[in-house]
A and B are shown apart, each in its own frame.
Chain A
Amino acid sequence: MNEAVTARPIKISERGWGGGSRRKVTLGRILFGIGCLAIWQWAHARLGTEWIAGPAEILGRAAELARTGELWVHVWVTFGEALLGFLIGGSAGVLLPFLLRLSPRLTRALDPYLAAAMGVPKLSLAPLLILWFGIGLMSKVVFVGALVFFLLFFNGLAGVQSVDSRLVSMARVAGGREWVITREIVWHTALPFIFAGLKVALPRAISAAVVGEFIAAEAGLGYYINNARSMADTVGIFTGVVLVTALVIVVNGALELVQARSLAWRPVDRDMVV
């Protein structure tokens, strides 16, 4: 065999052995983070506050808002809208698929309408809802509720429809009533789907509340951002955006905790992203 006739050598590391050491990865992460901050600071220095607010300015503004109490008002308004809408829309969205299961005929008949409903970008409903319910709390709650409802409803429906029919037959044979089947089988099958929906829906509820506030509001983080925008207050926009992101992160973390507890029976986290 001629050495010159080379096949394509593959590095061992490609096959998952001896991959970069953990310490190196951690160091890389930290360096990358510092690099990002440095670029941000540099861009701020270069382009000026009117285009890019610096990290220090944002912290300063946030601290000031917290001191005057304005911060808590806005956070509370946005969070309240999101939570109320989430609870109302969410409970309806979770419940309905279970009810629909009782009537396969209705489910099949609704099919094309549901597909169309899935197609409406829910966010585009905001102006209409503000028209109907005014610029206050109500319109945002309905808006968030509609968004969360559809999200959870479609996820729940996917879950309910993925129930293993063999399990259901088994339960019927064993003498289980419809209620028992719903509680013991359908519920457990659908739960991961519902959680996947909740996990997506809660941060989106906050986003939706903020978008609603962009369009018309009297308080809330979205209102604050939009107000800052109209006054060309770049630091204000940045601060608002950072606060919204922080709120989402906190909420996500809380949800993560809850999920870890209630899905303990599952061996691995099945990937819900199709």
Chain B
Amino acid sequence: MIRAKLVLDRLLILICAVATWQVCSFVFGPQWFSTPWITGGRFIASLLDGEILHHAQFTLAAAAAGFLVGGLPGMLLPFALRRSPALTAMLDPYLIGGYGVPKLAVAPLFILWFGIGLGSKIALVASIVFFLMYFNAAAGVKAVSIQLLDMARIAGASEADMARHIIWPCASPYILAGIRISAPYAIGAAVVGELISSNQGLGYLIQAAAMDFNVTAVFAALIGLTVLVVGINWILDRTERWLLRWRRTEATRVRRFRAAA
């Protein structure tokens, strides 16, 4: 009963939104707002002829490669620094400073150095993801319980045992959170790179359509992008919950809307 009411409510909101859109395109003219139906048709058509998929692939490739290039070192660095608090303290202000640099503003430099192809997008994504992953992994390393390490040592664990049985499980919630937080940023950064200068990718698709004053195509590309991000978020959320199923449910009960990183 309550469930049915909720579904009804949601349906109502959807109808209102579509109606508002329709009214807007009626009032301002479809050249500015397109219409829900034309946009939906255009989205499905470009999905079928593979256009959106082709560009989404490029964006995804840039985001994923940047994630590896930047995220992996960012994730491993705190582990490498775990035993040297002095070195950590030394690097700290530089890492915080690097985190503060507005990376999107640096994008033109990356384009200058790596060209307008995949390389500059990977560099841009990597420069953002590196810091996000570093700070999350560092929090994870800090969260490793000294008591559990002591217990394991007393029980005769080797360094490798401790890495596997204590350090990784203690740090993994933070690292997974880092991955989940960084993923939308990675895609967003790839898209910005493509907006500024590219000949492929969803960002390019949006920018090219906007230059053509083709609002329908802009909307269709935006829908594709949103589906991509929401899908990735969903997959990561599921994976995380599955990997962390040992945590008490209260802690895993993911708050629907997280505070920004």
Interface residues of A (CB under 8 A from B): 7-8, 10-11, 13-16, 19-20, 24-25, 28-29, 32-33, 36, 51, 105-106, 108-116, 118-128, 130-132, 151, 154-155, 157-159, 161-162, 193, 196-197, 200-201, 203-204, 206-208, 210-211, 214-215, 221-222, 225-226, 228-229, 234, 237-238, 240-241, 244-245, 248-249, 252, 271-274
Provided the pairs A32-B94, A120-B229, A121-B184 are in contact, do residues A131 and B213 lie with their beta carbons within 8 angstroms? yes
Across the interface, do A252 and B105 meet the contact criterion of CB distance under 8 Å? no
* B105 near A245: Cβ-Cβ < 8 Å: yes
Further contacts, 4 of them, CB under 8 A, given A158-B259, A161-B255: A113-B17, A121-B187, A208-B104, A273-B136
Q: List 28 A-B contacts (CB under 8 A).
A: A13-B85, A28-B86, A32-B91, A33-B94, A108-B9, A109-B12, A109-B13, A113-B14, A119-B184, A119-B230, A120-B229, A121-B184, A123-B192, A123-B195, A124-B195, A124-B206, A126-B195, A128-B215, A131-B215, A132-B32, A203-B102, A210-B102, A211-B196, A225-B105, A244-B102, A273-B139, A274-B177, A274-B261
* A28 CB to nearest chain B CB (Å): 4
Partner of A210, one of B9, B104, B109, B191: B104
Contact of A211 among B91, B187, B192, B229 (CB under 8 A): B192
Residue from B83, B202, B255 within 8 A of A124 (CB atoms) = B202
Q: State the Cβ distance, A60 to closest chain B Cβ, in Å.
A: 18
Task: Tell me, rounded to whole Å, the shortest Cβ–Cβ distance linking A185 to chain B.
Answer: 18
Chain B residues with a Cβ under 8 A of chain A = 6, 9-10, 12-14, 17, 32, 83, 85-87, 89-91, 93-94, 100-109, 111-113, 135-136, 139, 146, 153, 156, 158-159, 177, 181, 184, 187-188, 191-192, 195-196, 202-203, 206-207, 209-211, 213, 215, 218, 222, 225-226, 229-230, 233, 255-261
Contact yes or no, A8 B100, CB < 8 A: no
Find chain B residues with CB under 8 A from A128 CB.
206, 210, 215, 218, 222
The answer, among B106, B136, B209, B257, for a CB contact under 8 Å with A158, is: B257
Contacts of B6 in A (CB 8 A): 108-109
CB <8 Å contact, A229 and B259: no
Give Cα A157–Cα B202 distance, bound, in whole angstroms: 30
List, in ascending order, chain A residues with CB within 8 A of B111's CB. 229
Count of inter-chain pairs, beta carbons less than 8 A: 202
Q: Measured between alpha carbons, how far is A247 from B206 in the docked complex, in Å?
A: 29
Contacts of A245 on B, CB cut-off 8 Å?
100-102, 105
Shortest CB-to-CB span from B149 to chain A, Å, is 9
Given the known interface contacts A25-B90, A121-B184, the answer about A159 and B259 at a Cβ–Cβ threshold of 8 Å is: yes
Decide yes or no: A131 and B210 within 8 Å by CB, A119-B233, A120-B225, A211-B192 being known contacts.
yes
Give min CB distance, B105 to chain A, whole Å. 4
Is B225 a contact of A207 with CB atoms below 8 Å? no
Task: Please indicate the chain B residues that have their CB under 8 angstroms from the CB of A120 in the complex.
Answer: 222, 225-226, 229
How far apart are B251's CB and chain A's nearest CB, in angstroms?
11
Residue of B nearest to A247 (CB): B102
Q: Are A25 and B89 in contact (CB under 8 A)?
A: yes
A222 to B102, CA, bound (A): 12
Give bound CA distance, A203 to B99, whole Å. 11
Q: Which of A118, A151, A157, A241 contacts B109 (CB 8 A)?
A: A241
Closest Cβ–Cβ distance, residue A242 to chain B (whole Å): 10
* Given A127-B207, A234-B112, A118 and B191 contact (CB-CB distance below 8 Å): no
